[in-house]
Amino acid sequence: MANAADALKRFEVENNIQQVDHDSLFKYNEVQYKQFLDAKPWAKDPHYFKHVKISAIALLKIVMHARSGGKLEVMGLMMGKIEAHTMIIMDSFALPVEGTETRVNAQAEAYEYMVEYLDLIRKTGRLENAIGWYHSHPGYGCWLSGIDVSTQMVNQQYSEPWLGIVVDPTRTISAGKVEIGAFRTYPEGYKPPNDGPSEYQTIPMSKIEDFGVHCKQYYPLEISYFKSSLDSQLLDKLWNKYWVNTLSSSPIFTNRDYITGQIGDISEKLEQAESQLSNSKSSLLLGDKKKEESQLDRIVKDSSKVTIEQAQGIMSQVMKNLVFNHSCKPQVGRSYFNWSMIDIAMTYLCYCLVHQGFYLLISSEGAKNIYS
């Protein structure tokens, strides 16, 4: 189990999970919470909530649930409390809903399950309230679609305070780090100030229109993660289950359809950019060159992201092959690990992918800001 423990530590480092020295975050003050609800500070300030703290247990449960859905969207609820401008997620639970590859909606069965679950958990002494929902976007990023915006707006109208979280299990498998976003919608009719360009993320062409139409109707919250001494045993048990699934799967094979789709999407974007460029040569002379370069920069970012994720997947396969398919006993006249031609080929391919990734990074003037 040493490897599982090391992997858990790596998971905590990659997602910057902070150790809480005290367990005060787990104490629930019901009187203080009711006073907060009566005050309704969010009604005066649409940006009142600015931060989200998610417990490591809740994060792992959300990721495991999202991964279990595969290509289908899944949905669940989150329980927690409020401290000033911060929403604290203590726990989460899955809902029995039937999702598709593009949407997920709760039906009567899910609402009945939700009420019964919350009633039973209160009998165990857990007093936290449901303060948000989560769902998955397998392979197309963390943002709110038109349906998601409508769902979140209704919940904020009748169930405040309420948070919406989106997790992408497919990109989580490819990148290693949890791909997640937390959002709240603006009141109807509210016009947000122009805060400038937001952090870039890859959006498939089939989703760009839906993303662009609704992207000004909500705002993201800053996310951080925490754990405490109370989490240790439960987190270890959850991780052992998650670790087995991670160890027995390969991001290259698990996400082969996603990778193929990403490459096809980049090809479509290149064709579109080329078409627009050839049809607007006169416009470029009038000062629209920067716009075209910006579009090409985004394509470079997308291709570099796919390349780096592929390199990470191949490196993972090489390490698993070395660990599980080779004898660890040294033999006379042989090295400690007996490398095969497959090992050498995979390592060389990994090197080529990384080299190609760095080439793409420097192939455009705007590409230097990919991770800025």
Instruction: Find tokens 């305070």 and name the residue.
Output: 161
- Least confident span in 53-67, 225-239, 340-354: 340-354
**Mean pLDDT value across residues 181-205:** 77
Q: What is the pLDDT of residue 337?
A: 46
The pLDDT of residue 340 = 54
Q: pLDDT at residue 6 above 80? A: no
pLDDT for 205: 65
- Which is higher by pLDDT, 41 or 259? 41
pLDDT at 178 over 80: yes
How many whole angstroms separate alpha carbon 293 and alpha carbon 287?
11
Averaged pLDDT, 182-209: 75
Give the residue-averaged pLDDT of 197-211.
65
Across residues 335-361, what is the average pLDDT?
50
Distance CA 122, CA 128 (A): 8
CA distances for 317 relative to 126, 199, 251, 340, 349, angstroms: 42, 31, 9, 14, 12
pLDDT of residue 370: 37
Mean pLDDT value across residues 264-269 = 75
The pLDDT of residue 101 is 56
CA distance 118 to 75: 16
> What pLDDT does 75 receive?
92
Which pLDDT does position 274 carry in this prediction? 72
The whole-number pLDDT of residue 365 equals 39
pLDDT per residue as tens digits for the range 118-149:
888 888 888 888 999 999 998 888 889 888 99
Alpha carbons 368 and 249: distance in angstroms, whole number: 33
Q: Is the pLDDT of residue 55 over 60?
A: yes
Q: Give the pLDDT band (50/70/90) at residue 76.
A: very high
Kindly tell me if the per-residue pLDDT of 185 is higher than 90: yes
pLDDT reported for residue 227: 85
- In the three-class reduction of DSSP (H, G, I as helix; E, B as strand; rest coil), residue 295 is classed as helix
Out of 93-97, 257-261, 331-335, which region has the weakest mean confidence (pLDDT)? Answer: 331-335
Q: What's the DSSP call for residue 89? A: E
| E strand intervals along 168-207 | 180-185
Count Cβ neighbours within 10 Å for each residue of 96-130 and write b for 16 or more, e otherwise. Answer: ebebeeeebebeeebeebbeebbeebeeeeeebbb
Q: What dihedral angle (degrees, nearest 10) is formed by the CA atoms of 136, 137, 139, 144?
A: -150
Lowest-confidence segment of 65-69, 99-103, 117-121 by average pLDDT: 99-103
Question: Quick one: pLDDT band at residue 305, thresholds 50, 70, 90?
Answer: confident
